[in-house]
Amino acid sequence: MLAKNGFNVLDVYKPEKFVVESGQLQHSFKWLMDYYSYYKKCKVIAKTILENRDGLIVSDEDFASIAIGEEMGRRRVLITDVTETHFTSGLASIIEKKMNKSMHKMMQACDCVIIPDIGDDNSNIHHVGPIVRQTNIGRDALRSRFGFAKQTLVASVGGTDAGEYLIDKTIEAHQKLQDRLDSELVVVSGPSLKLPDSPDYRNLGFVDNLHELVYAADLVISLAGRSTMDESITSGTPGIFIPSARKALQK
């Protein structure tokens, strides 16, 4: 999306995958350790990039670049709605608490932390409310453009393993209800999740105008990703949001 708008983009991070079964995160402690290993790799990548570029660092939840920026004495702005995680329980949670403590220290050391939520500002922490894209096109015009003639359900999942489970269950439920509802299911599966062609749904794959689809829809079904929830609330479109078990951001 950034490249399409004329920006130079380096897609260099390869994040670890969640292991999800029946919508629940499995082996959470192993994933946490894998994520820590991934974080260290990202720090190496971030250092290579930042060594060749001067100026302010603006990070959208990329704590690796924030950590390297702190080591370099660079000014840092962090945008995040994740202030701590709760993936694990029992003895493993002791390690996670230490990681959360390190995260808090990095946030406190930033020049500015922007949180897209409602809350009280404190020191360098600034709450700015939900950040959503606006559209100047009316809902009826958008529905006509997208071909939304029936009651339209938009399912958006972001292409994760947890999203695949949600899509399967959404398709299954819609098959039982579509005749009664006279409805259409539109799936936004993201860049990595591959779905077979089917008359039971229309798959749009990856889109760069999800906010318009949300505005035009009659119902949104999604994992509880913050941006999609905010777009649903702002546009007044009813939504069903299902957090993955143990996923802190979605809780």
Domains of the chain in start order, with CATH, are 3-76+84-107 (no CATH), 139-242 (3.40.50.2000)
User: For residue 251, what pLDDT is reported?
Assistant: 42
Strands (E), 93-215: 112-115, 125-127, 151-156, 183-188, 202-203
- The closest of 24, 7, 193, 214 to 130, measured between CA atoms, is 214
Across 35-44, 79-88, 154-163, 237-246, least confident range: 154-163
Could you tell me how many residues make up the chain? Answer: 251
How confident is the model over 35-60, as a mean pLDDT? 94
C-alpha pair distances (Å), 163 with each of 1, 25, 136, 139, 196:
21, 12, 30, 27, 15
CB within 8 Å of 79: residues ≥ 6 apart: 58, 59, 60, 61, 113, 114, 115, 116
pLDDT tens-place string over residues 179-226: 788 899 999 988 878 888 899 999 999 899 999 999 999 999 998 788
Query: Cα angle vertex 240, ends 235, 244, to 5°?
Result: 120
Q: What pLDDT is attached to residue 152?
A: 96
Question: Tell me, what's the pLDDT at 129?
Answer: 92
Nearest residue to 226 (alpha-carbon basis) of 212, 241, 207: 241
Assess contact for 160 and 228: CB atoms under 8 A.
no
Percent of the chain with pLDDT over 90: 58
pLDDT band at 161 (very low <50, low <70, confident <90, very high): low
What is the value of pTM for the model shown? 0.79
**Is 60 exceeded by the pLDDT of residue 49?**
yes
The tokens for 16 are: 């670890």
Distance CA 139, CA 144 (A): 9
Q: Which two tokens stand for residue 154?
A: 């938009």
Q: Which whole-number Å values give the CA distances from 47 to 9, 42, 71, 106, 113, in the listed order?
A: 16, 8, 10, 16, 21
Q: What is the pLDDT of residues 4-40, one digit of tens each?
A: 778 888 889 988 766 666 556 666 788 788 888 999 9
